[in-house]
Chain A
Amino acid sequence: MKLVSISAFEIAQKVRGGELKASQVTQEALAQIRKVDGIPGSLLPYQVSAEEERKVHAFIQVTEEMALAQAKKVDEAVANGEDPGMLAGVPISIKDIFCVEGTTTTAASRFLENFEAPYTATSVQKLIDAGGVILGKVNLDEFTFGSSTESSAYQPSTNNPWNTEHVPGGSSGGSAASVAAEETALSLGTDTGGSIRQPAAFCGVVGLKPTYGRISRLGLIAFSSSLDCPGPISRDVRDAALMLQAMAGQDPKDSTSSVRPVGNYLQALEQDVRGLRIGLSPDYEAVYYPDLETGEIHREPIQKEVHDAVLRAAEVLAKAGAEIVENVPMPNTRYGIPVYFVVSRIEAASNLHRFDGVKYGYRTKSEVRNLEELYRRTRAEGFGPEPKLRILMGMYLSAAGYSSDYYQHALKVRAMIRRDFDRVFDPIGEFSLDAMLTPTTAATAFKRKDVFGDSLLMQYSDQMTVASNHAGVPAVTIPAGLDDGGLPIGIQLIGNDFCEDMILRIGRAFEQKTQDDAWRKVRPQALGGEVQA
């Protein structure tokens, strides 16, 4: 088996055991990037050749020198009999929303084209300290605002490795695609409304949104501060557990990071699922969205193959000894997106205030007569359409006189969504669930340009994921098959606060019980697999 295909867990084990050199793994990963990734996303005009159309385009920036230096350090540590850490030699990509000293951090925006942070995000630093090798920064929707990566200012944006005519999802599209295309074993993403889980599901990989506060947000360029969570993307559950283990824990520089002790996630995977109570909810069987003309709420059932995959997973888990609890009511799930529109836009508009052309980043090149014109032109030229839309909406929603109608109201509904989870996870309650089992997305990856441009519709692709962001609870997506078009299907496990160990354990059990499934043998297009017609 090629080195790039094996798991992070195995790489680290072999590197720590001296069987494998980190430098060798790094070289092979770099070669894989050269082979499948194509031209990096950039602000420059580019030619769309037929060949480039079939590339992944996950990376904005490959940090070859840095990666080789980190790998060398790991190899030296091993040679000196020191332990290089639990991620020794594991190739990792970083969503380009994390500040990493020695790299530019663009947030996929023209605004930060040349921005070099003078510090490194805590989560990234922990990966490096654990012996991980950072291969580079991967593409995303501009400032993480989107669900397809198409809104990146750095084009070409990422393609879905399974079928390059389709989007990889977003906003962590580059992260999910780089892992699916075996360019890296792991990627660090962020999830505000589903931005880890939706692209992971679209790309057939594992994506974990931990409990809010489990991983430090320091160094993550904020989108919506009360919702943002960094988290791992990997090819299997064990790797997600490993990466979480390396990053979880309190950070004195992030007041919202939790002081709770960190569990042993890898050890948790060894337990089976016998006796665990796993819920299925009718509220995760359809998408609810408003008719813009009439305000009427439409109900659209989710893609049948996705629904079937959830039911099948329930059967698999039941066979493994879990108890499936049906008809669990999660009545406020349908309000997740409207609440998200309000909370995330208001926080985003404020978080983007600092991009004003005064201190760093883009500043208009045209002559300006006064300060206000400097602001106007700089922001008009520096931001793409999606940030502008979100700023406008956030400004409107938080304006005096409107804030009480929208923001205060949204906070109340958010609390109701949280209560849905409190009720089902209450250990002495009616359901006393250990996890919820739901689809990750209502449908598999859509085609490029199909949804892009319709900001509202795009947002509704997060309906299955956003509730756990509002509630702060952890959720993981796991590959569960392919649809008729050969595109990956993801199922989601949602757990109680800080019960990452529980959902990872259930996910691992599902993974093991379906190890021999035929769909698992199918290779993505970018790795030489056939694309189904």
Chain B
Amino acid sequence: MKDYEVIIGLETHIQLNTVTKIFCSCKADSWEDEPNTNICPVCSGLPGVLPVLNEEAVRKGAALAAAMHAEINPESRFDRKNYFYPDLPKGYQITQFDQPIGKGGCLDLKMPDGQTRHVRIHKLHLEEDAGKTKIEHGTRLVDFNRCGVPLVEMVTEPDLRSGDEAAQYLIQLRQLLRWIGVSEADMERGHLRCDANVSIRKRGSEVLNTKTEIKNVNSIDAVRQAIGEEAKRQVELVESGGTVKSYTLDWDADRGKLTMMRSKESEADYRYFREPDLLPVVLSEEKIEAIRAGLPELPMVRRERFEREYGLSAYDAEILTGERSLSEYFEAAVKCFGGGEKSISNWMINDLTRLMNDLDKTAAELILTPAFLAEIIRLVEEGKINAATGKNLLRKVEESGRDPVEIVEAEGLAVIADSGALRTQIEAILAGAPDEVANFKAGKESLLGWFVGQVMRATGGKADPKLTREILLELLKN
């Protein structure tokens, strides 16, 4: 294995999260709909129908191209890819062939070991999805619901070198898709689908050997595992004197096994030609500029800026930029607080994310606004409430939507920092524990902790710890 290098290219299909399909007005998302209930004459390929392009699909496709650092073609075109299959009702797929919406592009992978892998994009185009078929009791069934769902097909150059890198590519791609809001990128729901092309070569060699294509690697783990398995298989085959043949393989995630689907000796001829039913897609310079300008700061850039600008650790910056609304939450909280980035980062990573997980909410969905979080942290840091109270407040604010200061007042959660009031309470406690006082005075100073505990219990944890200590020592030493 060590003598070989694995060469991987990924082909991804990304379902754009438009409201309607790409060429008709059926809704785009059919998740959990009964088969063939979300179809119309256009997407089910009836005779005489014509496609009408969804502008939003174009905008989202172009936004993705921009986010991938690809050129956006000012004039792109649609073509027909002709083939027969029951899930393709027109007998051709409307796609983009030689004038796609995006040209070039790349994604830099930040590997956990700190290395960066530069992955170039070979192809980025818009197309329509096909339906689904399945065989049940010996009968082939077809569901057209998915026909016409807008997709971006994005293919990398063979720039990846391991299953881990392929997995990282999908992780960062998924993050990016959600970040710029063009896809839900839920792999389980097929919003992001992946096929992997795998070949091997001796280290130091520059040739590209025959590759196999693994279909249906539709989770991050599947990509990592399937590629690992296939690379191992190819190495063993070559080592034992065999040669790799151009197969299409299927990844069975349940059994963790690859099975051969078919040999791919001759490339299918799709007889591409221009789709005469659609006009060229023309994007003016202003429109392209608006699409670029509309993009948020991208995750990698923001991550590096968080390290630089806020002095966060690489680890903290990665977590806080894992999802766009989380990173925005952080910056908003910093702004409200007027600094405090390190403690805000701590609070968010340790406590807020736990709350979000419990409630299954994104940062954007929290009722606990960045301003409220900043207020809670300030209350703790100014000693107005103690840390435990602060942490409890997170949930209270989230549940009630009330201002934390208000809750602290209404529920009397503030630290008792009035030395007079506290002194009275402590005096009462000491009066009730004559033995302990005697022991302390006899030299058992470790009892101080016990006294503090008593005070805290009596005050419901609200006693200012520092002040409690001072008063206790003063009273006990006398």
Contact = CB atoms under 8 A, between A and B. Distances in A.
Interface of A: 98-99, 105, 107, 112, 115, 117-119, 121, 217-222, 224-226, 252-256, 346-347, 349-350, 352-356, 358-360, 371, 375, 395, 398-400, 403, 407
B238 interface: no
B94 to A, nearest CB: 11
Nearest to B140: A371
Main secondary structure of the interface of A (DSSP, over half): loop
Contacts of A352: 91
Interface stretch (B3-11, B79-87, B286-294, B387-395): B79-87
B90 interface: yes
18 contacts: A117-B46, A118-B41, A119-B41, A220-B48, A225-B277, A226-B276, A255-B50, A255-B51, A255-B53, A346-B273, A349-B82, A352-B91, A353-B82, A353-B84, A354-B45, A354-B91, A358-B86, A359-B142
Nearest to A143: B47
Contacts of B278: 255-256
A399 B51 CA distance: 24
Nearest to A121: B48
B271 A99 contact: no
A117 B47 contact: yes
B48 A395 contact: no
Interface string B436-474: 000000000000000000000000000000000000000
Given A400-B269, A403-B273, A356 B48 contact: no
Given A346-B273, A356-B91, A221 B47 contact: yes
A254 B50 contact: yes
A355 B41 CA distance: 14
Interface string B119-149: 0000000000000000000001010000000
Given A99-B47, A256-B277, 20 more contacts: A105-B47, A107-B47, A117-B41, A118-B46, A218-B48, A218-B49, A222-B47, A255-B52, A256-B50, A346-B273, A347-B273, A350-B92, A353-B82, A353-B91, A358-B142, A371-B86, A371-B140, A395-B271, A398-B272, A407-B273
A119 to B, nearest CB: 6
Nearest to A398: B271
Nearest to A99: B48
A292 B51 CA distance: 39
B194 to A, nearest CB: 26
Contacts of A255: 50-53, 277-279
Contacts of B51: 255
A359 B45 contact: yes
Residue among A117, A118, A252, A354 having the largest count of chain B Cβ atoms under 10 Å: A354
Given A256-B279, A356-B84, A356-B91, A400 B271 contact: yes
B45 to A, nearest CB: 5
Interface in B246-276: 269, 271-273, 276
B228 interface: no
A253 B47 contact: no
A112 B48 CA distance: 13
Contact of B48 (A117, A358, A359, A403): A117
Contact of B44 (A220, A221, A225, A359): A359
B272 to A, nearest CB: 8
Contacts of B46: 99, 117-119, 360
Contacts of A112: 47
Given A117-B46, A356-B84, A252 B271 contact: no
Contacts of B104: none
A93 to B, nearest CB: 18
Residue among B46, B140, B271, B279 having the largest count of chain A Cβ atoms under 10 Å: B271
A252 B52 contact: yes
Contact of B50 (A217, A353, A395): A217
B92 to A, nearest CB: 6
B50 A218 contact: yes
A353 B83 CA distance: 8
Contact of A353 (B41, B49, B92, B277): B92
Contacts of A253: 50, 52
A355 B92 CA distance: 11
A147 to B, nearest CB: 22
Contacts of B86: 356, 358, 371
Interface string B325-366: 000000000000000000000000000000000000000000
B48 A399 contact: no
A122 to B, nearest CB: 10
A355 B277 CA distance: 18
Interface string B81-106: 01010100111100000000000000
A346 B50 CA distance: 18
B82 A350 contact: yes
B349 to A, nearest CB: 50
A511 B289 CA distance: 56
Nearest to A111: B47
B5 to A, nearest CB: 32
Interface string B38-63: 00010011111111110000000000
A221 B90 CA distance: 12
Contacts of B89: 354, 358-359
Contacts of A220: 48
| 7 closest residue pairs by CB, A with B | A353-B91, A226-B276, A225-B276, A398-B271, A221-B47, A219-B48, A99-B48
Nearest to A219: B48
Contacts of B49: 218-219
B269 A399 contact: yes
Contacts of B84: 353, 356, 375
A354 B276 CA distance: 16
A252 B51 CA distance: 10
Contact of B271 (A117, A375, A399): A399
Nearest to B44: A359
B10 to A, nearest CB: 25
Contacts of A225: 276-277
Residue among B86, B272, B279 having the largest count of chain A Cβ atoms under 10 Å: B86
A225 B48 CA distance: 10
Given A255-B53, A350-B271, A375-B84, A222 B91 contact: no
Contacts of A400: 269, 271
A218 B279 CA distance: 15
